[in-house]
């Protein structure tokens, strides 16, 4: 008989004792509700009724096989654009079915697609049916042939199509928009296509050529960031993620208030609540309290920042500490600093950790890498007549998160 090891209790492994049979824990009843990819039910979508109705009005004709309008959805991240598009497409599919219309719906994440052929392949594969007899291989055929196969599938299998292009500003080629939106006009297919384009680059429209603008359509909806009350409802609707009595009553209002003040992003608000739950779980605290929120957030963000800069040389961290020391001294946490000043403080940080300084040029390039990773932001300033140009940088993370990466972060006196 096998002896029960230290790690095994009651037939189970102690390592996983906090996880019950349904994958949940003493804190969570259904942690899945706080997952970023989780799509809430219709009655859990908060504050977007108007957008849902407006979008349905534009693409609605497709449920009868008539030509839908194309639409652009704009707004900052986490404002519900993809959610609303998915929701309306889902309901359009059911309604089309009820009316015996063959409606194709598909979503492409343009940030993932690698060029024109890949985008068309994803669309064709997404709506293909076993009955079409058309093969859509992932490689080995020309871009043109992908289009032909897409037209074949659409013509044989469908009466109308709704194609969502998420992160449309990442499309490497305007052709996709042009050809999809004009396919019927150009006599390629007999099926009407409506394109729902989604972008979180609010100035994207200004960068578009006239050609693209007219392909995307002129109907635009702006999604504003959520306010505190909307975020509170979004979170409240997911409070059943937690076991009964675990979540203190002030936690959701505080999470919503913090998120509204910082960004109005529903995804980040949900993540913050999940982090608080994880913090309570990992520290064996039987309940989630308001005081856990900031701690949980800082700890989780600190880990994320650490991962982000893990591939960079150690001096990137010292540069980051220099910027965090400077930023922590300002009121808004949004101040810009010149490279020369950051370099001075960086030298103090090096002294504090007992290491030699690198050259200004190296620090300049490390700042470039940090900006590339969106840990910091850089901009070119003009110093005025005869003074030339210089670069300024600012931290995009809270200084407290930066200091949280280390048990002994280098905090230096910047006034000396
Ligand atoms: N109105 C809402 N009601 C309930 N949950 C929401 C709402 N808006 C957003 N969420 C939640 O936040 C997640 C992110 O929203 P969504 O993906 O729609 O944002 P987005 O505006 O498309 O942002 P991004 O540009 O980053 O893709 C959703 O999956 C959903 O879980």
The DSSP secondary structure of 216-257, one letter per residue, reads: H-SEEEEEPPP-HHHHHHHHHTTGGGBPTTTB-TTHHHHHHH
Q: Looking at the chain, which residues constitute the CATH 3.40.50.300 domain(s)? A: 48-223
CATH of 48-223, one of 3.40.50.300, 3.40.190.10, 3.40.50.12780, 3.40.50.2000: 3.40.50.300
Q: How far apart are CA 416 and CA 413, in angstroms?
A: 6
CA of 109 to the centre of ligand 1 (A): 15
Q: Looking at the chain, which residues constitute the CATH 1.10.8.60 domain(s)? A: 8-39+226-307
Mutate to test the pocket of ligand 1, among 48, 267, 271, 272 (most ligand atoms within 8 A of CB): 267
CA of 285 to the centre of ligand 1 (A): 30
Q: Looking at the chain, which residues constitute the CATH 1.10.10.10 domain(s)? A: 311-403
Predicted local confidence at residue 1, as pLDDT: 40
Number of H helices, E strands in the chain: 15, 10
Predicted local confidence at residue 338, as pLDDT: 94
Mutate to test the pocket of ligand 1, among 46, 55, 82 (most ligand atoms within 8 A of CB): 82
| ipTM surpassing 0.85 | yes
Is the distance from CB of 60 to CB of 88 less than 8 angstroms?
Answer: no
Predicted local confidence at residue 162, as pLDDT: 97
Q: How far apart are CA 262 and CA 288, in angstroms?
A: 22
- Report the pocket of ligand 1 as residue ranges, CB < 6 Å: 38-40, 44-48, 75, 77-83, 200, 234, 266-267, 270
**Exposed (0-12), middle (13-18) or buried (19+): which is 312, by Cβ within 10 Å?**
middle
Is the distance from CB of 197 to CB of 73 less than 8 angstroms?
Answer: yes
Predicted local confidence at residue 411, as pLDDT: 80
Predicted local confidence at residue 398, as pLDDT: 86
Atom of ligand 1 nearest to the CA of 230: 1
Atom of ligand 1 nearest to the CA of 35: 31
Architecture in CATH for domain 8-39+226-307? Orthogonal Bundle (1.10)
Low-confidence ranges of the chain (pLDDT < 70): 1-12, 14-25, 36, 333, 382-387, 416
- Domain covering 311-403 in this structure, CATH number: 1.10.10.10
Binding residues are 79-83, 226, 238
Atom of ligand 1 nearest to the CA of 85: 18
Tokens of 339: 């490279």
Global confidence as pTM: 0.76
CA of 143 to the centre of ligand 1 (A): 33
Q: How far apart are CA 182 and CA 146, in angstroms?
A: 16
Predicted local confidence at residue 113, as pLDDT: 82
């Amino acid at each position: 008989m096998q002896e029960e090891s230290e790690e095994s209790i009651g037939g189970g492994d102690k390592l996983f004792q906090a996880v019950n049979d349904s994958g949940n824990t003493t804190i969570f009843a259904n942690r899945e509700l706080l997952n970023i990819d989780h799509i809430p039910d219709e009655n859990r979508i908060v504050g977007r009724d108007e957008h849902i109705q407006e979008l349905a009005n534009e693409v609605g004709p497709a449920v009868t096989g008539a030509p839908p309008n194309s639409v652009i959805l704009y707004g900052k991240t986490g404002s519900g654009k993809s959610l609303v598009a998915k929701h309306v497409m889902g309901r359009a599919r059911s309604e089309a079915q009820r009316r015996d219309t063959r409606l194709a719906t598909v979503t492409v994440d343009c940030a993932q697609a690698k060029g024109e052929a890949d985008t068309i392949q994803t669309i064709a594969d997404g709506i293909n049916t076993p009955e079409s007899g058309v093969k859509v291989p992932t490689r080995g055929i020309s871009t043109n042939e992908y289009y032909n196969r897409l037209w074949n599938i659409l013509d044989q299998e469908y009466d109308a199509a709704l194609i969502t292009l998420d992160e449309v500003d990442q499309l490497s080629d305007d052709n996709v928009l042009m050809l999809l939106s004009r396919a019927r006009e150009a006599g390629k297919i007999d099926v009407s296509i409506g394109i729902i384009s989604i972008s979180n680059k609010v100035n994207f429209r200004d960068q578009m050529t006239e050609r693209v603008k007219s392909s995307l359509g002129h109907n635009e909806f702006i999604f504003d960031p959520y306010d505190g009350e909307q975020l509170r409802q979004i979170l409240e609707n997911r409070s059943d993620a937690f076991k009964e009595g675990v979540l203190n009553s002030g936690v959701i209002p505080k999470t919503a208030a913090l998120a509204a003040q910082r960004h109005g992003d529903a995804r980040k608000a949900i993540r913050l609540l999940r982090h608080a739950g994880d913090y309570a779980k990992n520290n064996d605290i039987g309940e989630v309290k308001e005081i856990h929120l900031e701690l949980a957030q800082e700890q989780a963000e600190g880990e994320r920042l650490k991962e982000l800069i893990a591939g960079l040389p150690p001096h990137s961290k010292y540069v980051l500490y220099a910027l965090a020391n400077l930023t922590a001294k300002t009121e808004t946490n949004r101040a810009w600093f010149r490279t020369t000043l950051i370099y001075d403080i960086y030298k103090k940080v090096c002294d504090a950790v007992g290491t030699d300084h690198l050259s200004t040029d190296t620090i300049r390039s490390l700042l470039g890498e940090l900006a590339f990773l969106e840990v910091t932001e850089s901009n070119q300033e003009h110093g005025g007549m005869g003074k030339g140009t210089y670069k300024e940088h600012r931290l995009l993370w809270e200084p407290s998160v930066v200091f949280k990466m280390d048990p002994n972060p280098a905090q230096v006196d910047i006034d000396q």
